[in-house]
Each structure stands twice: as structure tokens, then as C-alpha cells.
Amino acid sequence: MKNGFQRRRALISKRAYRKVYSKATPITTAIIVLLVAIIVTLSVIIAKDAIEDKRLNTETAPSTDGATSAYEQTTAPKEEFDYSVYDTVSLGASDISKGTLVLVNRQNGFAPLSDSVHINLYADKDRHYSVASSDIALDQETYEALGKLTTSFFNETGKEILQITAGFRTKEQQQKYYNDMVSSVEDEDYYELPGYSDHHTGFAFDVKLYLEDGTSLSYGKNAEEHAKWIVDNYHKYGFIMRYPGDKTEHTGIIAEGNHFRYVGIPHSVYMRENSLCLEEYVSYLKHYSVEEPLEIMTGGKVYCVYYTQKLSETTQVYVPKDKMYSVSGNNADGFIVTYSVD
């Protein structure tokens, strides 16, 4: 009974299907085929994504037997920096104002240190330059570099025409000079303020040209004609032109083409080659650390230079164990280490 009933139901269903199918138009058939194709395609894509997810999960999963997966082998950790080749030195608050890279301008005042030593230029009888007065003095390192520069100039050209007109000044001396020179508000941009003068460091000096016939000339306007060798080479002896005409927005001083400043090698070379004033250079060095120093090549040597921020009254600064180095405060917020790789 049951089987007979099932056969009659199947027969009725088949007849109904044939009846419906026989009424289907070609368009209906095409739509049905298209829908079937879309469903099959989506099923294949979903299956492939599932297989890919399973593969990635297998590759990135931690190994249970201690082995490194293929994915981990392509992302090896960065090699750690070796601090063992460095010592640390403790620098106090006063050290921020010591060194040849101290920045002195209208935002950063400077008071000469009590233990500063300045060499009187007039007392040097072997010099190849003249001095405008008997009381002009400079820092020891600056004095020695000036001697090398002018001796080389004399050996190359036979000239001794560079005259030093000003060197180290106390705050009181700068005040007198400022009062004598500034007669109006317009003059203020030409001269350094007392307590904020580069001359307080002992690293700065002014010059002019004093020719063999007794003619006195401005250095800035006449150096190209009469002292071209100095113009082309002063940076090789550690000097910069402190107030270039195109850097007034940084220095705060309108072009002063007769004011030299000693910063030392390799800094003077890098600043000259990259057209940087001292404000720009000191700021630029803040991008470099002991882990990633600035490298400067000059004179057949490679120098590393980096900055350490002053964090407290006592700052620990990394310095190389087995190399000669120097540390200079920037007179603002940190210290600059310089050493030769060679």
C-alpha cells in the first residue's frame, strides 16, 4: 500500500515538473543557468579563501618543537646596539656652556666662565697677522687655529694682510661697544647685545685687511680680491663665517662679513659644504644619537657626531672607550660628542 502511494506521488510530481518546464521560456532558462553559475563560482571562491586562511595560520603559528617557522625566518629582529664599547661621563649644569659649539645669540645668553683662559695675540711675535690693539685675546684652541690659518696663507701667498680688530669681550666691554655703535633702533640688528654676544666665548674675532702699503679695507667687501685663499680655505681650519647675509632670519644679525667663529673640525667643513649657520647646525644635530650618529668625512678621516639631551642637573653622556673624543655643550639643551672613527 505504501509503495503504491509513493509511486503515484512521484508520478504526479514528475508530471507537474514536466508541465512547468514545458511552459518555461528561453529567457527563464537562461536566468536559471546564470544563477547556478554564480552560486558555483561563489562556492569555489569561499573554499579557496578557507584553504588560504588555514595555510597562513599554520605558517605563523608558534612552533611546538622550538623550530622557527618560514614566516619568522624572514622577519629577523634588528641587531641590538653594542653599548659595551662606550663609557659614560657625568656632565653638570655648567658644562652646557663649555665647548666650541656653544650657541650664543639673542635667545641664548652667555657668561664667560671663571676658569676661561685667553691668549693675548699681541704677545705672539711669530704671527703672520697684525692686531689693531694690544689687548685682543682669544681662547687657546682658537688662537692656535688662527695661527695655522694665517701661517698657511703666508706660505701660499707671501701675504700678512689679515688684521684682527676684536676678540674676547666681557659683558662690560660689549656694553660700551654697543653704546658707541648703536645710535638708533635701526642699528640694533647689526650688533650683538651685551650678555648675548658671540665675543663672550673667546671663539670669535673680527677682522679687516691691512695691505702692505698701509691701506685699510673692509674684509667682507674686499676678501675675494685680496685674500681669496682665506675665503676658500678658512673652514679647513675650524672656522665659520658666523653671520652670513642669507641667514639673518636664523642668527638675528644682519650680514656681518668680517666676524669669524671657531667651531672646530669637522663641524666647520660640514657647515660650509651644506650652507648651514650655527643655529641651523646645532638644531640639525638633534636628529643624531649615539646609536645613529652623523658621519662626516674630511681630511681623509671619518668623524661621528651625535647629540645627547640635557635631562637633569647631571647628565650621563656616552663616549667611546678607545677613541679620542670631545664633548661640547650647546649652551641651550644638550651636549654634542665628536670622535674620529680612525
Active site residues: 256
Grid cell at residue 40: 558555483
Q: For residues 5 and 316, give the distance between their C-alpha atoms in angstroms, rounded to a whole number.
A: 99
Q: For residues 106 and 251, give the distance between their C-alpha atoms in angstroms, rounded to a whole number.
A: 8
Beta bridge partners of 66: none
Q: For residues 293 and 9, give the distance between their C-alpha atoms in angstroms, rounded to a whole number.
A: 90
Short-list 304, 246, 234, 307, CA closest to 272: 234
The 8-class DSSP code of residue 52 comes to H
Grid cell at residue 248: 639673518
- Residues 6+ away with beta carbon under 8 Å from 342: 301, 302
Q: For residues 20 and 282, give the distance between their C-alpha atoms in angstroms, rounded to a whole number.
A: 89
The 8-class DSSP code of residue 107 comes to T
